[in-house]
């Protein structure tokens, strides 16, 4: 049964829109846990556009499940992670102008900095996961760095699914090909001894096909849950995503 980590960053996005103190991401995290989330994910970005350093410290103290910190492999972030000690750090690429994370890490090109980051975090007892595209070469490179997990980027799969227009003319062939690419990547990762998570751009509508891939043990989902929560409430939105992942499985 796959686990769901809820990414609560966009609770902080709403707060930061007014630079006030509500809504509180810690309260949101607790509601997610009460609704059955298996963990909380948050991305401390270098530009601090949503989650702030104090949120991270408060989250670490408040949550009782599992804290997954997404961050770039920079000295600043490593120092924070070593202080806060989340259960897992997921290393992600970050660029200042992006609206959201744009695809996975190029582990092959950044092997040196990633190796040293993995070593520093692992020696402090923090598990490290690498966010990568569903690419066999990236999986092999990740495995050589000694991480425990890879998170496969589903944004391409999600983008193909969410094309506007008539459902009957959606690119079903392309969607299925991308789903198979993710499945093959997940299998390769498991054969290499890695655990597999997946996320980015997943929705109530498209998560089902991903949940059919047995190698994927964990989903990290944020925007779509928080968007629904704005209209239906967070407890209900989290429960409905768990149901979408676990339906008939
Ligand atoms: N996984 C990773 C590595 C991410 O960077 C993000 C976005 O912060 C997510 C999952 C969640 O993506 P979304 O908000 O589109 O569900």
What is the fold of 3-246? TIM Barrel (3.20.20)
Tell me how long the chain is: 249
pLDDT by residue, tens only, the chain of 249 residues = 899 999 999 999 999 999 999 999 999 999 999 999 999 999 999 999 999 999 999 999 999 999 999 999 999 999 999 999 999 999 999 887 777 777 899 999 999 999 999 999 999 999 999 999 999 999 999 999 999 999 999 999 999 998 766 555 567 889 999 999 999 999 999 999 999 999 999 999 999 999 999 999 999 999 999 999 999 999 999 999 999 999 866
Residue 19, pLDDT score: 94
Q: Is 70 an annotated catalytic residue?
A: yes
Residue with CA closest to ligand 1 atom 3 = 131
Q: Find the 246 Cα to ligand 1 centroid distance in Å.
A: 20
Catalytic residue among 10, 50, 94, 200: 200
CA angle 106, 110, 111 (to 5 degrees): 110
Pocket test for ligand 1, best of 44, 89, 101, 102 (most atoms within 8 A of CB): 101
**Does residue 29 contact residue 230 with C-beta atoms inside 8 Å?**
no
Chain centroid, CA 228 distance in Å? 18
* 3-state SS string for 97-126: CCCCCCCCCCCCCCHHHHHHHHHHHHHCCC
CA angle 202, 207, 212 (to 5 degrees): 140
Integer Cα distance of 249 and 246 in angstroms: 5
Residues near ligand 1 (Cβ within 6 A): 7, 9, 43, 70, 90, 92, 100-101, 131, 151, 199-202, 220-224
Residue 42 buriedness (CB in 10 A; 0-12 / 13-18 / 19+): buried
Could you tell me the pTM of the whole model? 0.95
Integer Cα distance of 222 and 64 in angstroms: 19
Closest CA to 206 of 231, 224, 190: 224
Closest CA to 71 of 81, 60, 82: 81
Residue 61, pLDDT score: 97
- The number of the ligand 1 atom at minimal distance from the alpha carbon of 220 is 10
């Amino acid at each position: 049964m796959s686990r769901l980590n809820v990414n609560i960053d966009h609770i902080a996005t709403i707060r930061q829109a007014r630079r006030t103190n509500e809504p509180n991401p810690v309260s949101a995290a607790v509601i997610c846990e009460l609704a059955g989330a298996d963990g909380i994910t948050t991305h401390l970005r270098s530009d601090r556009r949503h989650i702030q350093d104090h949120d991270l410290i408060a989250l670490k103290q408040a949550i009782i499940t599992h804290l997954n910190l997404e961050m770039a492999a920079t000295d600043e972030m490593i120092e924070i992670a070593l202080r806060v000690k989340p259960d897992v750090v997921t290393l992600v690429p970050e660029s200042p102008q992006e609206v959201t994370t744009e695809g996975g890490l190029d582990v092959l090109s950044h092997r040196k900095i990633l190796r040293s980051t993995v070593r520093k975090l692992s020696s402090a007892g923090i598990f490290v996961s690498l966010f990568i595209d569903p690419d066999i070469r990236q999986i092999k490179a990740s495995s050589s760095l000694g991480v425990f997990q890879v998170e496969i980027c589903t944004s391409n799969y999600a983008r193909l699914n969410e094309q506007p227009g008539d459902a009957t003319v959606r690119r079903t062939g392309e969607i299925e090909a991308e789903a198979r690419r993710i499945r093959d990547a997940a299998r390769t990762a498991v054969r290499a001894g890695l655990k597999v998570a997946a996320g980015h751009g997943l929705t109530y509508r498209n998560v089902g096909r991903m949940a059919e891939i047995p190698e994927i043990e964990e989903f990290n989902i944020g925007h779509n849950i928080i968007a629904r929560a704005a209209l239906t409430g967070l407890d209900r939105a989290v429960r409905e995503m768990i149901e979408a992942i676990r339906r008939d499985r």
